[in-house]
Chain A
Amino acid sequence: MSLATLLLLADGRLPSGGHAHSAGLEAQVTAGRVRSVADLDGFLRGKLATGGLVSAAFAAAACADATRWADLDAGLDARTPSPALRRASRAQGRALLRAGRAMWPVAGVGREPHQPVALGALAAAAGLSPGQAAVAAAHGAITGPASAAVRLLGLDPYRVHALLARLAPECDRIAEVAASRSGDAVDRLPASGAPLLDIGAEYHATWEVRLFAS
């Protein structure tokens, strides 16, 4: 279990397609719901508690047990009511696998799994633990939209990083909760959602001009 390997997997510079996704933030920015660092704080806390927790639990579960990949993938379909978000998750899973396969051997996870399943599978291939996969997932759930916020709103990047630092303990806590449940049956794994993001994603997918893919 190499810490440097974990950092590599969690690095925003990993060429895994994430830069083109705002995790639902662009729709909320355009709707005027997120305008400031304080608003972003609320958005990211919500993200950690819902999608972040789900991603972390599924990434940990996928890391722990390769025989569950297909079931976990179906479980994420069931937890992602928006077709646009299902496409976005699979597109990011595919891109992550492309990057990951260049680094570690991973087989049998399919061409376009949901992103958390891809992340868990890669973490396993890299010799990381389920707990580390969960941290990477929770960390990605907030650093992705934080970076999108800097680009969309021109927020002060230092203040955004100060916010991420304040959220780090909560990120660790969510990852711990997630990892502790990674052996649960798929139907028992976390299923928290954010309906406004689902609706926003469907709306966003119809725009003629958008900066982010989701």
Chain B
Amino acid sequence: MDPHAPLTGGSRALRVGIGGPVGSGKTALVAALCRALGAQLRLAVVTNDIYTTEDADFLLRNGVLPAERIRAVETGCCPHTAIRDDISANLDAVEDLESSLGPLDLVLLESGGDNLTATFSKGLIDQQIFVVDVSGGDKVPRKGGPGVTTADLLVINKTDLAPLVGADLSVMDRDARARRGDLPTVFLSLAEDRGATPVADWIRGLVAARAAG
């Protein structure tokens, strides 16, 4: 058998990339999704952080996922390279998870956090989520960039902070619509919604659609 047979085919896990600037809440979102979906779906996580174990430790500490379901990829100063131009280490991590855990329904891949131009390769993921937060003000969706414009789901996180930073959510909503056309955008406060309900629902829909063929 070819050990490098392409990771395609009906039975493999749905792979969802989670990108966005540092600190926007990607790891918090992964934790929330593990909490919401961990009991229903066979899931695993790949992290791309420069802290070799921090994201994994966070998930372990919060008891959302056992260690054997988490793999850390190292990215050599270039987090976007590892998710877009040279995806080999991430593919190897997914392959290792699938060979050690057996078939999976869902693999979440958290990017190391970069700027608004970072997007995932279609050779690595099936769908991508881009996470921004309101704390940098309400201009982020207007600025656009490939993450905001093309992600399959845009998450605008930390809405609890909006009053504190004077961010107008209706402006963000309007600008996101203008940039994204029909692609969905959800507002979220992971501080308040510990299960990331709208994102978990979106993923459930994808998994169900995939199972239906």
Report A's interface with B, CB cutoff 8 A: 13, 15-22, 91, 94-95, 97-99, 101, 107, 110-111, 148, 151-152, 207-213
Q: Give the total of B residues in contact with A, Cβ under 8 Å.
A: 23
Cα distance A17–B76 when bound, in Å?
10
> Are B52 and A17 within 8 A (Cβ)?
no
In the A-B complex, list the 4 residue pairs whose CB atoms are closest, starting with the nearest: A95-B88, A20-B76, A213-B74, A111-B3
A-B contact list, 16 entries, CB within 8 Å:
A16-B86, A19-B76, A19-B82, A20-B73, A20-B89, A21-B76, A94-B92, A95-B89, A99-B88, A101-B4, A148-B76, A208-B51, A209-B51, A210-B50, A211-B77, A212-B77
- Report if B67 contacts A (CB, 8 A): no
Count: A-B pairs, CB below 8 Å: 75
- Report if B2 contacts A (CB, 8 A): yes
Contact of A208 among B3, B52, B74, B82 (CB under 8 A): B52
Cα distance A213–B86 when bound, in Å?
14
Cα distance A21–B76 when bound, in Å?
6
- Report if B53 contacts A (CB, 8 A): yes
Report B's interface with A, CB cutoff 8 A: 2-4, 50-54, 73-78, 81-82, 85-89, 91-92
A151/B78 contact (C-beta < 8 A), A15-B85, A20-B89, A99-B88 known: yes
Chain A residues with CB under 8 A of B88: 15-17, 94-95, 98-99
> Are A213 and B51 within 8 A (Cβ)?
no
Contact of B76 among A94, A107, A151 (CB under 8 A): A151
Contact of B77 among A17, A18, A97, A151 (CB under 8 A): A151
